[in-house]
Chains A and B, each alone.
Chain A
Amino acid sequence: MKAIVNVFLKEGVLDPQGKAVHHALASLNFNDVKDVRIGKQIILELTANDKTRAEAEVKEMCETLLANTVIEDYSIEIA
């Protein structure tokens, strides 16, 4: 089983990397971009077979280590 975790800065927390990339896109004449947010994707290979249990465990991993919930939000996708 695989878990795909996406970690992004929270809405309202300024994302300096996203802003820089947005500027770079604009300077390349990609003018239809309203906003850019940059985050990271963490892919976990799990030994568990139970989807619900895996989800709960990955949530705990996010809260403990994978995301800093002061500034970041995360989403979990179990595949």
Chain B
Amino acid sequence: MKVAILRFPGTNCEFDTQYAFEKLGHTCELVWHEETALPEGIDLVVVPGGFSYGDYLRSGSIARFSPIMQAVKIYAEKGGKVLGICNGFQILTEAGLLPGALKRNENLHFISKHQTLCVVSNDNAFLNQCSKGEVLNIPIAHADGNYYIDEAGLKKLEENGQILLRYCDEKGNWLNVNGSVSYIAGICNETKNVFGLMPHPERALESILGSQDGIKMLKGFEA
């Protein structure tokens, strides 16, 4: 698999993401935000975490206008697979590639810790290696992870199986971590080719660092 990983000024998870996909045996290419085209023959675009443009105005609000994002939009419209992690999720919502928006955490803190997540939908190109209801241990690190969508939008997400992950306790009971509507930690678009989540699967690859649950998440794209 060939993976394109975007870099904006302020991105800081691009090398972790590259490490993760290379560990799984894939080739990665880092793509600077000023590029107008994605590399040829790619299977996946990852918008990694960080603080693109210093999170000025709103997280992800400026990155979405960069030249490379126009190419990503076209790629996604043609059915290409796109994964946004943390700041990448924020960028994809700001770009309108994913519904809803991410607000400041309810408790106003930057939350950085290991967090258990419950797999809600697995009939998609991302979480197909995970089972429904499975509890995963994945780090989170964000200040603006409070997912918001209006009631009509939430209903649509539920009906189409677009809710991928919810925050939960170790037993799988849903848990309010940052104020997110319906405990949502990750979603996909209607056509299930654009994915976004606040937790960092690329930081959960080795049990010595607390968890390797990220592997089976990222492996999903191989199928």
Chain A residues in contact with chain B, CB under 8 A?
Answer: 9, 13-14, 16-17, 20, 65-66, 68, 70-71
Contact = CB atoms under 8 A, between A and B. Distances in A.
Contacts of A20: 108
A70 to B, nearest CB: 4
Given A16-B106, A65-B61, A70 B100 contact: yes
Contact of B101 (A17, A65, A66, A71): A71
Interface of B: 57-58, 61-62, 65, 93-94, 100-101, 103-108, 146, 148-149, 179
A65 to B, nearest CB: 7
A17 to B, nearest CB: 6
A16 B57 contact: no
Main secondary structure of the interface of B (DSSP, over half): loop
Contacts, number: 34
Nearest to B65: A65
Contacts of B149: 70
A14 B58 CA distance: 16
10 contacts: A9-B103, A13-B103, A14-B179, A16-B104, A16-B108, A68-B94, A68-B101, A70-B148, A71-B103, A71-B148
A3 to B, nearest CB: 16
A65 B57 contact: yes
A56 to B, nearest CB: 20
